[in-house]
Structure 1
C-alpha cells in the first residue's frame, strides 16, 4: 500500500514546524518571546507526525524522514540565519543523511510489495 500524498504533505509540514521550532530556540536566547514559537512549533510537529502515522506511513519511514531532513534543513538554515559554519564535511554528512532516508523509503516500498505478494494482495 502506497503512502498517500496527504501523509507526505503532513510530514513535510511537520518537518518545517520542527525546523522552525529549532531555529526559534536559538533565536530565543536573544529574543525570549520566541519561546512561544518553540512550543507551538514542536507541538505542531509531533501532532502532525502522529497524523502521518495514523494515515498508515510506517514509523521507520516517517520518523527517519522527519528526523533526518529536520537535521539537514536545520543545519543549512542555521548557516543562513545565524551565520553558523557549514563545512564541506558537514555537506557530505547532509548528502549521506538524504541517501539514508531514500534507502529506508525504497526498502519500505520493497517490503510492502513483498508482503502484498506473499499474502496475495495488490502489489
Structure 2
C-alpha cells in the first residue's frame, strides 16, 4: 500500500510541476490552482508512504527521480522543450542513483 501512496505522490507532483509552467507566473487561475493542490496532495501522499514503512531515502529518491524523468519527458513531448543526449544520460544517472540506494540498503554495509 505504501507504494500506491508513493505513486500518487509522484503523479501529483508531476501534475503540479507541469501546471507551474502552464500557469504563466500564476497569471492563469486553472493551472495555478492545480499547482497548489498538486503539491499539497504530493506531500500528503509522500508522508503517508513514509508512515506505511517506506524508508525516507528510497521514497524521496524514487519520488524525485521519477519526477525529474517524467517532467523532462512531458516537457519534450508536449511543451516543445528539447532533450539532448546529455540530458537523457543525466536522467539515467539519477534513476541509477536511486537504484544504487535501494540495492545498497538491501545488502547492508
Give the TM-score of the pair, scaled to structure 1.
Answer: 0.81
Q: Give the Cα separation in 2 of the matches to 1:32 and 1:94.
A: 31
**Residue 54 of structure 1 corresponds to which residue in structure 2?**
51
Q: Give the Cα separation in 1 of the matches to 2:4 and 2:104.
A: 21
Structure 1 spans left out of the alignment, 5+ residues: 1-5, 115-123
Give the TM-score of the pair, scaled to structure 2.
Answer: 0.91
**Residue 118 of structure 1 corresponds to which residue in structure 2?**
none
Given the alignment, which residue of 61, 65, 73 partners 2:62? Answer: 65
Given the alignment, which residue of 18, 26, 43 partners 1:23? Answer: 18
The count of residues paired between Structure 1 and Structure 2 equals 107
Kindly report which structure 2 residues correspond to 1:110-121, keeping only aligned pairs within 5 A, or say none.
Answer: 110-111=107-108
Aligned with 2:94: secondary structure? helix
Q: Give the Cα separation in 2 of the matches to 1:34 and 1:52.
A: 26
Structure 2 spans left out of the alignment, 5+ residues: none
Q: Deviations over 1:28-79 (max 9, x none)?
A: 1173321000011000000000000001111111111111111111111111
**Coordinate RMSD, CA, aligned:** 1.4
Q: Which structure would you say has the larger Rg? A: 1
Instruction: Give structure 1 regions of 4+ aligned residues with deviation exceeding 4 angstroms.
Output: none
